[in-house]
Amino acid sequence: LDAGGKTIFEKRHKTDGLDRVVAATLSKDRLYVLLGAKKGERNSGRIESFDGKGEKQKFAVTFDGERNVFPQDMMMSGDQMLVALWEKNNKNDKDNLSVLKRVSLSGKIISEREYLPGVPNRIRSLSRITGGGVLAVGDIERPGGIQAGWV
């Protein structure tokens, strides 16, 4: 959309296993889209890239592993992307945690950090704050199954 809300262009792309589109972020010349995918009982996440005309680029980062992966949010952080994922053991609902991954614009996973393993929690959103820091908002399950929010 332009500043007046008029559609500049619209593109449609086939995406195998698409479950939901979660977030998008812009670099200087690319649009990166974080999406959730599902194949059978397995959930995973993926980042796909598009040029300024909406054409899909040969770039994809897949987040998949032993646990089900549910993408939550994504943002630019300098010349990298910061991606929040929620990972869950599909045999035990209480075995879940948040993971933050730094991903280069070329698609390489630079770093990964788990948050509060052993305590059910989820990062829901990320945003930039003054001074270059990142604000994360989420929820955590307290004893007795009580949900609490955190910042």
Comparing CA positions, the residue from 81, 67, 65 lying closest to residue 22 is 81
Reply yes or no on whether the pLDDT at 9 is more than 80.
no
11-19 average pLDDT score? 83
- What is the average pLDDT value for the chain, to the nearest integer? 88
Q: What is the pLDDT of residue 15?
A: 80
Reply yes or no on whether the pLDDT at 98 is more than 80.
yes
Reply yes or no on whether the pLDDT at 8 is more than 90.
no
Q: Could you tell me the pLDDT band of residue 104, with boundaries at 50, 70 and 90? A: very high
Judged by average pLDDT, the poorest of 11-15, 43-47, 78-82, 99-103 is 11-15
CB contact burial 63-93 (16+ within 10 A = b; e otherwise): beeebbbbbbbbbebeebbbbbbbbbeeeee
Do the beta carbons of residue 107 and residue 126 sit within 8 Å? no
Reply yes or no on whether the pLDDT at 60 is more than 90.
no
Per-residue tokens: 43: 């959930």
Alpha-carbon distance of 27 to 42, in angstroms, equals 30
Comparing CA positions, the residue from 3, 5, 36 lying closest to residue 21 is 36
Three-state SS sequence of 87-113? EECCCCCCCEEEEEEEEECCCCEEEEE
Per-residue tokens: 75: 């943002």
Q: What is the pLDDT of residue 94?
A: 75
74-94 average pLDDT score? 88
- Whole-number Cα distances in Å, 56 to 65, 74, 101: 25, 19, 23
